[in-house]
Structure 1
């Protein structure tokens, strides 16, 4: 069964904002105009030093530059999936969405709605 997860990637040598812009282009096919950093927690500070940077961005059909799907040279085969917030919340409740970073972002959006 495919894993439903928010766009993400390794920092490599990039800063977090550069990374999310690059990953959005590769994975989603969108060139993001403005990104907002939300927070940057450690996921399990007692056992690993991995830190995540969470971002949010508005986008429109005009920002689409490709079909997305990931970087073939990295072995990515990504299906771009968009869903309403209520469906995403239901996906958490029924176990379809199990990726921690994605759950955190969905819950953040529920608690902090974006004005239309």
Structure 2
């Protein structure tokens, strides 16, 4: 990129993910160059999915504790979201989300349809989310879900009418961006009523 040069990266933390400070020279429209410093959090890419049942007019959501939401909102930190997970190295997005569906919500799906790719916070986080949809039936339920103990997950699985999920989004009970995007996708494309 011709408007970018002298990029220096310093690792600030490498705990759960990697926090970098990136210093770089950027050329503005007026031709001037400025030295800029930003922090960038790299935790890899992620996947998420809206599971929907046309016959029952329901969706599967999850509810779990999120420390950043707790810190920011000073509430109980519980977040209602679509099933989601971080991609392992060299894992494709569809394989990841099929695995996450089984681990988190207890359904065995064979395939998922990718509908979007999006950065949810491109100013600070490198993560690109791959957003999927898939139909489910009761026959696909193979376990109770709830996440993996080895990943310190404690996930409540929610099966709710689609109209209730939209209401939860509209009254800000659901405030997770990926979940809002997928619920709105379902509305726009009339997946459910």
Q: TM-score under structure 1 normalisation? A: 0.92
Tell me how large the CA RMSD over aligned residues is. 1.6
- Structure number with bigger Rg: 2
Q: CA deviation at 1:90?
A: 0.9
Q: CA deviation at 1:92?
A: 1.3
| Corresponding residue SS for 2:156 | coil
Q: Which residue of structure 2 lines up, in the alignment, with residue 27 of structure 1?
A: 104
Q: Which has the higher helix share?
A: 1
Which consecutive residues of structure 2, in runs of 5 or more, have no partner in the other structure?
1-75
Residue by residue over 1:13-50, the C-alpha shift from the partner in whole angstroms, topping out at 9 and shown as x without a partner, is 22110110010000010011221111111223344321
What is the 5 A alignment of 1:27-46? 27-46=104-123
Q: CA deviation at 1:115?
A: 6.9
Q: Which residue of structure 2 lines up, in the alignment, with residue 91 of structure 1?
A: 168
**Length, aligned pairs only:** 116
| Corresponding residue SS for 1:3 | strand
Contact 2:98 2:111 in 1 (8 A): no
Residue by residue over 1:55-105, the C-alpha shift from the partner in whole angstroms, topping out at 9 and shown as x without a partner, is 001111111111000011101011100112211111112121011100111
Which consecutive residues of structure 1, in runs of 5 or more, have no partner in the other structure?
none
Q: Which has the higher strand share?
A: 2
Task: With a CA cutoff of 8 Å and minimum separation of 6, indicate the structure with the bigger relative contact order.
Answer: 1
Contact 2:108 2:140 in 1 (8 A): yes
